[in-house]
Amino acid sequence: MTAFAIISDLHSNLEAVEAVFARIDALGVREVVCLGDVIGYGADPSPTTRLVMQRCKWTLLGNHDWGLFHSLEEFNPLAREALLFTRRKLKPGLFSPQRRAAWNFLQRLPERMQDFGYLFFHGSPRSPVMEYVLKSDGFLEPEKMAQIFALIDRPAFVGHTHWPGIHRADFRFTQATDEQRTFVLEGPCVVNVGSVGQPRDGDPRASFAVVADGKVEIHRVPYDFRRTQAKILAAGLHPALAERLARGK
């Protein structure tokens, strides 16, 4: 089977996205798919979206991509502020064909995909755009996990939580670490590929996955987050959106 890479939750972080694509190229992986949240939080929605349009076989709709075109009531104040900034940056004008292409691309993203023999969602099989599959759900929300696993008959890949790892059929979550980053894809399971642009597992390095030979490997890539931070501050976005990148939180 062809090896392919999975990226998710880029969040307009151009430096992280470029570093991840450079690593994917160095690995010799040619096909890349994206699980959504191309935009939101960061200062570079336009170039990030253009890169995804150029490089990814397909891209799913994330909740921030959805928020670009809908009510922002469900978003926290930081996310809402960043999405309003993104609307100003991306909304097409009369003489901006590049903006029009990116705007239309994000507006037409599908909610789910089946490819390479696997299932793909941004959030969860039960609610593809909005629902989080949390690492604690196995013991705090077993009924939720039972419903999710009832909807899949093979490995499924998600993003959204920014926390890489795997839920097995017993609902237990195994976090991806440098010591344990490769997992066999057997039967129904839910693999979170982590976040390229805003990791939240305490590791500031960008996260993505490569699938090959019935296994998934989580890769971590350092990038110049200080440059990303400077852009966020220069754009007038909330300083917390810059500060969290250094902590991976």
Q: Helix H segments across 185-224?
A: none
Residue 207 is predicted with a pLDDT of 98
Supply the pTM of this predicted model. 0.96
Does the domain formed by 4-247 have CATH 3.40.50.720? no
Question: How is the chain split into domains, by residue range?
Answer: 4-247
Non-local CB neighbours of 8 within 8 Å, separated by 6+ positions: 34, 35, 36, 37, 62, 122, 158, 159, 160, 193, 194, 195, 196, 208
| 57 contacts 31 by C-beta, under 8 angstroms | yes
Alpha carbons 158 and 180: distance in angstroms, whole number: 19
Q: For 19-73, how does the pLDDT look when each residue is reduced to its tens digit (9 = 90+)?
A: 999 999 999 999 999 999 999 999 999 999 999 999 999 999 999 999 999 999 9
Least confident of 83-97, 176-190, 201-215: 83-97
